[in-house]
Structure 1
């Protein structure tokens, strides 16, 4: 394996306009996309990695091409620790958070895919797991929906076999929390008492309002409440935890282990949702997971279930994946025969690496559409 070398790093943007009225408490979603990375080697093995974007996809693509690729050509893909360390310091002025780190994450994931393929092992087994069946929940339920539309989507999720669902709160930009209380009550009545029910406020409230809202919905058995306050307001997250017994989920907006460390040190999370397509790929996610284990917290990553399935399967404190309904069409276009959830579980293919195959015809369409 010591003679394996990276020969090329290619990236394709696959983005699409959102069909429908999708808005959370703080923003309207207009476009979603994947930046799909392919890392070639001199032994004929190609690794794939993905990050996603709602804005800034072009910047991710160009950063990979002009900042990351030249540093990786000729390097051994097994050198994930050293490549991470070198690249972190190389881009530290622009890359400790944000689009540059998203770009690096996709490349790192592709390196881990190469490792699994060369060793002929699914990554969840390479990482020490032995059970390929992982719980997964359905995620949607936008604040732009009427109460009737919200209830209908919740019932549809359950009808599709999901035993846990997550919906948005923060209608009218968070200015009407009592309307959110009524909406939560309507959903719980519609789905019954036995379906796991989570909420996501997308950073909208100050701690006092979030606590008041949480205590007003306590009777509806909320499994966790995600980002009730601004993700960078760690004191506010800690204040929320002190003010209610509903478990607090956060971490998707942390881009390195240091952000996760600060959440844990400040008792500002019960469920840590670090996203390997942002935080620094598998290399940095494994460090973050180790810290969550040391603090005895749950790990439940944000979105991108086909990238995260191996990590959740291998982590003793990995509790579930998230399937964002908004991304379903894009996922089905980008991958060939990606595993689909069945009755609230996703089964990982017993294929080497990530176990995913790209739809090259669709990627070619994306490149043509983007003039690349």
Structure 2
């Protein structure tokens, strides 16, 4: 199968590219190479005859259409997105342009290709989204997001992703485009761009800097190891039911404070300080505007219909992640000078 993967030089997209090539798929990586992208993320497959790269901004409809015409993919996996909530608070416009209009451009290009090919039944447009479109959950851990949970986005980022989800469903219902959708919980793992919580904590700890935790650290997230997520995405692409959505979760709920304390314990073991614990660097900071209290995924549908579930616990995944950052200093140091990295964003609301 020939896959066109948008955002394939990003964190999750690159994990999909690496796994897809390993499974023997042809992969066209379509990426604009914005601040959060890095071609080093796919260096391990760059020389493969199965891999091709196209530097294309999905906001450019003509460039997107031309890429579809050149490569004629059998399926699209759409991961390209502006995704940092704090950046969406400071500058929502680019989130609307990329996540909404960019998705529209891709849907139109995919629809045109699909119709030109005679509407093949095997064609798929797989739209990858987030659990943040569902809003915030109560503290009761028996309550989780299902595929039927009403949308209630709370940030410019989640609102833009909710909009793109609606577009994808509309193109299926109106034009018959064969789509599948997935909504995932928080990802972590190797190649995580160093502005997100887990890499911030690891790198600040190593640098002797404060470990910032928003509010009182009670906000809860369900953590999904990125390589598990990539495996789930390829499973849904190949075996998911057309028109159906699947929630992908790690079954690993942790509060932000619990998560940071676990990271500190791993670092204490793998890279001990001369004195004390990395937990001594924990610092509570002013909360993010509109910070959702809790996200949690009910993965029953993907487990029962497709037989998928995560392979690692959050403790195992965090250990692998810390080990990866300790062993790949050249990768993360090269990204630390990019715009906004290392600065507190999202405080202008």
TM-score w.r.t. length of structure 2: 0.30
TM-score w.r.t. length of structure 1: 0.29
